[in-house]
Structure 1
Amino acid sequence: MKFWNEELFFMQNREEVKEWLKKAEADFEGALQLARRRKNPLPDLICFHCQQAAEKYLKAFLVMNEVPFPKTHDLLLLLTLARGFEPRLELYRDLLDLLNPYSIQYRYPGEEATFEEAKNGLKAIKDFRKFVRELFPSELWD
């Protein structure tokens, strides 16, 4: 099943979608690399990069389907916009809800993420990434 108008997509949106996916993959890889550090893996940053990856995967999907979206970090809002094109995205609501606060929660002094939160964030983004990879044509994944 295709979730885009192939002719229109390849003429207009292909490069922008690739850019969103490249940025999402960089955030995903950044979270993984931080988690592999033996000394001070920085759970705050792991959580942040997990949220950012999910956000950018959703935005890539919206661009591919020509859905305008506001400048936002709200994963649940992006999910609402995207699920009309792919209803199975709704199955990931709880996962996105877990990641949603990480865009700002640990970015400033006060609270710090725990290693357990970082571990849960990594599991969430791995599961979400596995699903979203099937939503895009394979040639978009460099």
Structure 2
Amino acid sequence: MKDRSALAQGWFRKADSDLADARRTTASEGPYDTACFHAQQAVEKYLKGVLAWRGLEIPRSHDLEELQRLCIQRELWPDLGPVISPT
């Protein structure tokens, strides 16, 4: 099994790639639903990377609010609420 640092870095690399895809799609005025998909994927993978970094179990979930709650409950990222809470 990978150590938690390597696991977290893997999640962050994948998230960086998704974020780059979202930016490229937006810059080329490509399909915005595709840009939104990649942006959502990036956020999901960054949150899972934070959980991995702390050695916590990573749920098999794509629910950003659930992942956000896990990070906030464990005080991994207490100020995350205002950043990604839907308004």
TM norm structure 1: 0.55
Following superposition of structure 1 onto structure 2, how do residues 14-25 of structure 1 map, counting pairs within 5 Å? 14-25=5-16
Pairwise mapping of residues 1-80 of structure 1 onto structure 2 (< 5 A)?
12-38=3-29, 41-80=30-69
Partner of 2:76: 85
Cα 1:29–1:76 change in 2 (3 A) is same
Distance 2:17 2:44 in 1: 12
User: Structure 2: any 5+ residue segments left out of the alignment?
Assistant: none
CA contact (8 A) 1:67 1:81 kept: no
Shift of 1:55: 0.3
- Compute the RMSD of aligned alpha carbons: 1.7
> Larger radius of gyration, structure 1 or 2?
1
Amino acid at match of 1:65: R
Q: Deviations over 1:3-47 (max 9, x none)?
A: xxxxxxxx9211111110000000000001111115xx1111001
4+ residue segments displaced more than 3 Å: none
Structure 1 residues not aligned, in runs of 5+: 1-10, 99-142
Identical residues among aligned pairs (%) = 31
TM-score (norm 2): 0.86
In 1, Cα distance between equivalents of 2:11 and 2:58: 14
Higher RCO structure (Cα 8 Å, ≥6 apart): 1
Post-superposition offset of 1:69 = 2.8
Q: Contact 1:31–1:50 at 8 Å: present in 2 too?
A: yes
